[in-house]
């Protein structure tokens, strides 16, 4: 049985209910992290080897375990009618027990409409699973949801960046696309790194703290449901603790095609007018990039107007002209920010700037 040398990802799943989803996840993760760092099956254990010990060693060699949970994960039974999770030798139970015992990061992945198990429904040895933040992956938005999972795993596997590099700059966001700054080795810093630059007061490393359901969010002339949606927490010098939520939807025929929209809003308990929205660029299938307007001729609540000064922080964002990335008929000639769909920090920091401009914080 192959084992990781460290830093790998272990995918735990039940074949009877989630083999297809687990296979799709494996493909996504292997493309990003390499096949030798993603471990999907444990049935290659050599004859005569204690499989519980073999599983424990394999899980311990990884940094992340993905617990793929389908709708029958909690209740599925064996040939004698006994719940599988109640069997101390159940492989899925052994995998998750090993991860919890060895302090491996466990991320529950909910598929096929599954809900997070409650503590009282789990064996005592798996009770810690109920306290782990889960990610929902849906058929209709698999790439987007899997991209968010990849981003979360990257934050676990990648050491924190050194942010002492910050160089002075006189670049302005209105004149050109602003290039990413570089580390001494020539590689580009992330948007999260740039947020830590002096004077910006943005958030580096927004933390997902909640998943909520059942609310409606209001644009001026329509309502949209984001069910469920994620709530993120950040710390700033100006406001202290800030909570901003992200929801997603697919709008049919938007700018000539069906486009994913990622919408940010304050996470209060009443309908909220969104702070900002990112939508899929024309080449989204190839680039996985989203775009949101910063400045336009109408100004008002939606964006900065032509006469308004932009905050210096926008000099550290990737920018372009909206119609360069969305070329449908009637597309606007407005300044916009561009980001990868997995770059939650950029999406939320753009929303933070817009909330400040509107006086919503």
Report how far residue 39's alpha carbon sits from residue 58's, in angstroms, rounded to the nearest whole number: 9
Q: Is the pLDDT of residue 188 over 50?
A: no
| pLDDT at position 176 | 28
Q: Which residue has the higher pLDDT, 53 or 319?
A: 319
- Contact predicate 157/64, CB 8 Å: yes
Report how far residue 318's alpha carbon sits from residue 100's, in angstroms, rounded to the nearest whole number: 40
Q: Which residue has the higher pLDDT, 270 or 123?
A: 123
Q: Is the pLDDT of residue 60 over 60?
A: yes
Question: How is residue 86 annotated by DSSP?
Answer: G
3-state secondary structure of 239: coil
Confidence of residue 161 (pLDDT cuts 50, 70, 90): very low
Kindly state the greatest CA–CA separation across the chain.
Answer: 76
**Backbone dihedral region for residue 89 (phi beyond 0: left; psi -120 to 50: alpha; all else: beta):** alpha
Q: Which of 8-12, 24-28, 276-280 has the lowest mean pLDDT?
A: 24-28
Give me the DSSP letters along 183-238: -TTSPBPPHHHHHTSTT----SS-EEEEEE-S-EEEETTEEEE-SSEEEEEEEETT
**216-237 average pLDDT score:** 76
- Contact predicate 152/107, CB 8 Å: yes
Q: Which residue has the higher pLDDT, 245 or 56?
A: 245
Q: Which residue has the higher pLDDT, 154 or 9?
A: 9
Measured in degrees and rounded to the nearest 5, phi and psi for residue 281 equal -70, 165
Q: Is the pLDDT of residue 195 over 50?
A: no
| pLDDT at position 155 | 76
* Domains of the chain and any CATH numbers: 8-155 (3.40.50.10140), 164-358 (no CATH)
| pLDDT at position 185 | 39
Q: Which residue has the higher pLDDT, 157 or 269?
A: 157
pLDDT tens per residue across span 141-156: 787 778 778 878 887 7
Give me the DSSP letters along 296-318: -TT-TTTSB-TTSPPPGGGGGS-
Mean pLDDT of the chain: 77
For residue 91, the number of C-alpha atoms closer than 13 Å in the C-beta half-sphere is 16
| pLDDT at position 53 | 79
Q: Which residue has the higher pLDDT, 271 or 334?
A: 334
pLDDT tens per residue across span 101-143: 888 899 999 988 888 888 899 999 999 998 887 888 887 778 7
Task: Name residue 321's beta-bridge partners.
Answer: 335
Residue 83 CB-density burial (10 A; 0-12 exposed, 13-18 middle, 19+ buried): middle
Look up tokens 């998750």; give the residue.
Answer: 96
pTM for the structure as a whole: 0.50
């Amino acid at each position: 049985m192959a084992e990781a040398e460290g830093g790998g990802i272990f995918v735990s799943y039940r074949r009877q209910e989630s083999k297809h989803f687990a296979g799709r996840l494996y493909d996504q993760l292997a493309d990003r992290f390499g096949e030798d760092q993603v471990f999907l099956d444990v049935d290659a254990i050599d004859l005569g080897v204690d499989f519980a010990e073999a599983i424990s060693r394999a899980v311990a060699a990884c940094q992340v375990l993905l617990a793929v949970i389908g709708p029958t994960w909690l209740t599925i039974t064996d040939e004698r009618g006994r719940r599988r999770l109640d069997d101390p030798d159940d492989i899925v139970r052994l995998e998750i027990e090993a991860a919890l015992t060895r302090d491996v990061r466990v991320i529950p992945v909910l598929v096929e409409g599954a809900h997070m198990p409650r503590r009282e429904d789990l064996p005592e040895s798996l009770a810690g699973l109920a306290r782990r933040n889960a990610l929902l992956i849906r058929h209709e938005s698999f790439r987007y949801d899997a991209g968010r999972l990849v981003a979360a795993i990257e934050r676990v596997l990648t050491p924190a960046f050194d942010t002492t590099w910050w160089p002075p700059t006189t670049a302005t966001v209105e004149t050109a696309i602003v290039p990413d700054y570089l580390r001494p080795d020539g590689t580009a810093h992330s948007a999260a790194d740039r947020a830590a630059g002096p004077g910006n007061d943005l958030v580096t490393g927004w933390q997902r703290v909640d998943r909520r359901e059942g609310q409606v969010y209001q644009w001026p002339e329509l309502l949209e449901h984001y069910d469920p949606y994620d709530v993120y927490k950040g710390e700033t010098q100006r406001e202290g603790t800030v909570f901003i939520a992200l929801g997603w939807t697919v709008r049919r025929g938007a700018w000539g095609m069906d486009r994913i929209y990622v919408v940010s809003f304050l996470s209060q308990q009443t309908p909220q007018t969104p702070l900002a929205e990112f939508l899929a660029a024309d080449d989204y299938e190839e680039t996985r990039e989203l775009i949101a307007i910063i400045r336009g001729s109408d100004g008002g609540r939606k964006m900065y107007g032509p006469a308004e000064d932009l905050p210096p922080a926008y000099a550290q964002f990737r920018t372009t002209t909206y119609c360069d990335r969305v070329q449908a008929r009637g597309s606007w000639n407005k300044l916009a920010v561009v980001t990868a769909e997995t770059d939650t920090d950029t999406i939320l920091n753009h929303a933070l700037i817009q909330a400040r401009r509107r006086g919503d914080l």
